[in-house]
Structure 1
Amino acid sequence: MDQAGEAAIRDHLVRSQEAFARAVNSPAFAASILAAAKAIRHSLAAGGKLLIAGNGGSAADAQHIAAELVGRYKRERAGMPAIALTTDTSALTAIGNDYGFEAIFARQVQALGRPGDVLMAISTSGRSPNILRALEAARDRKLTRIGLTGEIGGDMTRHCDVTIAAPSAETALIQQLHIAAGHAICSYLEERHQQ
């Protein structure tokens, strides 16, 4: 038996449990998720769409959340317009090559975003330059800006209309809380979505 390996796994699970307990006991965390869900619902009801951006694991979270909305989360219903800005490799590489990596999301927001749409920007540190540029582009295009970050929040908090700050400083735990927040938003939207 690999006792050291088992102990490391249990330690991770305990840290995860503690992070979720902090989230459950944080009125601000739940309130920010609800505010984000309401902003997205308002946009979708008015014919808007949700754009989602993130790097690395947060890129996977962007795709995950978009898939839950375009497809389904728990029940059959009409699809909701959500686009992960992390999936078009031709656009990402062309924009990155021509304008720099910092512009890969901002350029897509400029092209796809319309007033009344929502940008969900995900950065565990809150300092990702390409996420900050996307938030600036969203402001200029009059999109509602939702930020998912960690307890520090970084620079992105001052660029967001709603900030969901996971109560942790550990990247992996922040990401776990982000996907839980994303699922909570999907559940809220799905329960209130018109067929």
Structure 2
Amino acid sequence: MSGITTKVQLDESGKLLPSEEKEVRGMTELASEMKQDDVTEKMFLEDIRSRDVDNLTLVLNASQWHQFPTVEGAAHFMGESLNRALLKLGCNALDLLRQKMDGEFDPKVAMFPGNPYVERVLQKQMLMRKVKCEHRPPGMYSPEDQWKSGMYIYKGNEIAYFISNPVKTVVKRKGVLYLATPEVVFVVKTNVSI
């Protein structure tokens, strides 16, 4: 996704079409309103960082580990968790896409096979509800902290949800039993309630 950027149509003289002008004006007003409501706008970077660390600590304490035998299962779980988190924050565009894929689609969504409609609706919903998604790649963290990489979903500059990337782990015990051959599982840590 590319933030709040979107393609618009211009007339021969290079001006916005009347149909596009209203939408661009609305998005501009939303963006300026978001900037005014941003409490971190006048904070020092060190203060923002300490606030982010405190918020992340609270989110991680509320998170749970989920195990999957395959990386595909873990990736599917990540997608479902992202959809559920966005739904809880009032952004239902991904759910429209899921319904389309399941065959229970809205006719408006079906008209757009490449799903630019879904992406545009999601961008607008996220902007209106002050929701941001950030993906932190695994390279940002040391090998023992790889589980901290993943999706960070912000609501008004506060971390609302965290979904880690799948991390390959070797399990040597199940409960009180030690396994003769350790099994490989993929774990995902998230605070999105299932």
TM range (shorter): under 0.3
Name whichever structure is richer in strand by fraction: 2
Report the TM-score, using the length of structure 2 for normalisation: 0.27
Report the TM-score, using the length of structure 1 for normalisation: 0.27
Name whichever structure is richer in helix by fraction: 1
